[in-house]
Amino acid sequence: MTTAHMEHTAHEHAHGPNCGHTAVEHGDHVDYAHDGHLHREHDGHYDECEPSGHVEHAGHDHVHGPDCGHEAVQHGDHVDYLHDGHRHAAHNGHYDDH
């Protein structure tokens, strides 16, 4: 899965372990959930850390919801669930990796 490089402009908040936003391990970096977006520090600025395509998480037999035990993170118009180092989002009867 590749990630689009979309700079989040006018971002004056510095993310870090004590910034108050949910930290999400994402491959070789950490994203921070902030205002319905996932931000990643990159070369002195923040990017919107979004997948560049549709990536289905195959073989996912766990159903996510308010009582599933996984942390929920608001992501735009939907909720991602943090599960096994991935962000899962319900999509047309399956889950996508975000």
Give the residue, 65 or 15, on which the prediction is more confident: 65
Residues with Cβ within 8 Å of residue 86, at least 6 apart in sequence: 57, 97, 98
- Contacts for 40 with CB less than 8 Å, ≥ 6 apart: 26, 29, 30, 31, 32, 46, 47, 48, 49
Q: Which two tokens stand for residue 75?
A: 């992501």
pTM above 0.85, yes or no: no
Range of the domain at 38: 3-53+67-97
Average pLDDT over residues 15-27: 83
Q: Please check whether residue 91 lies inside any domain of the structure.
A: yes
Whether the predicted pLDDT of 10 surpasses 80 = no
Q: What is the pLDDT of residues 36-73, one digit of tens each?
A: 778 888 788 888 776 666 677 877 788 999 899 988 88
Which region holds residue 68: left if phi is over 0, alpha if psi is between -120 and 50, else beta? alpha
Q: Could you tell me which residue, 6 or 49, shows the higher pLDDT?
A: 49
> How many structural domains compose the chain?
1
